[in-house]
Amino acid sequence: MSVLVDISHRLDDFAIDARFESAGRLTALFGPSGSGKTTLINMIAGLIRPDKGRIEVDGRVLVDTGAGIFVPRHKRRIGMVFQDARLFPHMSVMSNLRYGRWFTPAAERYADVDAVVELLGIGPLLNRRPAKLSGGEKQRVAIGRALLASPRLLLMDEPLASLDEARKAEILPYIERLRDETKIPIVYVSHSVAEVARLASDVVMLARGKVTASGPTEAVMQRLDLLPSEERGEGGAVLDTKVLRHDEAFGMTVLGSAAGEIRVPRLEMRPGASVRIRIRARDVMIATEKPTGLSALNILPGTIVAISPGEGPTVEVGIDCNGATVLARITEQSRQALKLRLGGKVFAVVKTVSFDRANTGAGLPLGADG
């Protein structure tokens, strides 16, 4: 399963010139507003016709302006979840869900109503009208509606952007289940580092209509310089970890990663479960000797592999901790005082309390406030 997009398009005074290819489970199109990501996804869905270029999904050519191919939207079998849900107001939730199923050839229907209802937890809503649903419920029904058309590819256009934090936390686990329990590849548009780091297997980073980076999430998210400025504080290393054990006495969970053990606030997950965590660069301190008499619990030994200037007085330091790269944002003054240079042996120090609901892949609340 793969998606290939190679298009150029002009919209008034805005030009998009983008090429990417992805075979990931969940590919995030990531960039600030105005970077062209929604335009791209609309082109894949067939809602916008690109001036020039080619779009392929799973080897099937949907657009090839050179050969005069443009498959109309209703023949693409590509599901779309819109930011504003767009449930049909004159139909019940059940009729909304069944709408796309109706137009799918019986032989190609793989999505089952009961399974999707169960997956998204929308059983109690089936007889309601869309106007009577909360924002989070609407979005879950919209996801279900797209799924039940048995699409070859599912597009999600900032499905969480119009929701508050509590509603986001309500939906994220469902999207994770979607990614992990179904076989439909997903292309997900977002401008939030937290969402992308948590959900994406692959990232295509966009700025002003151009692709600035693409590849596996762990690699792309290292490029702090490419993040939109308002999201830069959220940037950092993304690590895939496993729950090792819970420390009940102190209400903590111990995660195992390539970099070593990492202690985070208690996660409601079974030992052995996979957790993806994001260590914000601004939360990481660097020590040249193993610190003692320090409250921070996570001390990861490593080697400096990158030093690059950051914004203002900062530098960004990449530390290779046994194969996993941790990013630290420190001041140039500190770098000089510690005489940090490439190849230097250091310790990356991370406070347990710097982990919260937004940067541990846990859908469940960690306490009173995340």
Partner 1 sequence: MNWLLDLTPDEWNAVRLSIKVATVAMLASLPPGIAIALLLARGKFWGKTLLNGLVHLPLILPPVVTGYLLLLAFGKRGPAGAFLADHFGIVFSFRWTGAALACGVMGFPLMVRAIRLSIEAVDRKMEAAAGTLGANPLWVFGTITLPLILPGLIAGAILSFAKAMGEFGATITFVSNIPGETQTLPSAIYTFTQVPGGDDGALRLTLISIVISMAALVASEVLARRVGRRMDIE
User: Where on the chain is the footprint of partner 1 (CB under 8 A)?
Assistant: 45-47, 72-80, 82, 84, 86, 88-90, 99-100, 102-104, 129-132, 145-146, 149
Min dist CB 9 to partner 1, Å, is 18
DSSP 8-state code for residue 360: B
Min dist CB 331 to partner 1, Å, is 48
Distance CA(81)–CA(60), nearest Å, equals 21
> By C-beta, is 151 or 235 nearer to partner 1?
151
Min dist CB 20 to partner 1, Å, is 21
Q: What angle do CA 195, 200, 205 make, to 5 degrees?
A: 85
Are residues 352 and 341 in contact, defined by beta-carbon separation less than 8 angstroms? no
Comparing C-alpha atoms, which of 170, 117, 114 is closest to residue 143?
117
> By C-beta, is 79 or 310 nearer to partner 1?
79
Min dist CB 214 to partner 1, Å, is 25
Distance CA(316)–CA(184), nearest Å, equals 37
Over its C-alpha atoms, the chain yields an Rg (Å, rounded) of 22
Min dist CB 18 to partner 1, Å, is 21
Q: How many CB atoms lie within 10 A of CB 323?
A: 9
> By C-beta, is 128 or 351 nearer to partner 1?
128
Q: What angle do CA 135, 234, 19 make, to 5 degrees?
A: 80
φ, ψ of residue 78 in degrees (nearest 5):
-120, 120
Residues near 168 by beta carbon (within 8 Å), at least 6 away in sequence: 160, 195
Q: What is the largest CA-CA distance in the chain?
A: 69
> By C-beta, is 80 or 284 nearer to partner 1?
80
> By C-beta, is 66 or 72 nearer to partner 1?
72
Min dist CB 174 to partner 1, Å, is 19
Min dist CB 155 to partner 1, Å, is 8
> By C-beta, is 117 or 243 nearer to partner 1?
117
> By C-beta, is 10 or 132 nearer to partner 1?
132
Residues near 115 by beta carbon (within 8 Å), at least 6 away in sequence: none
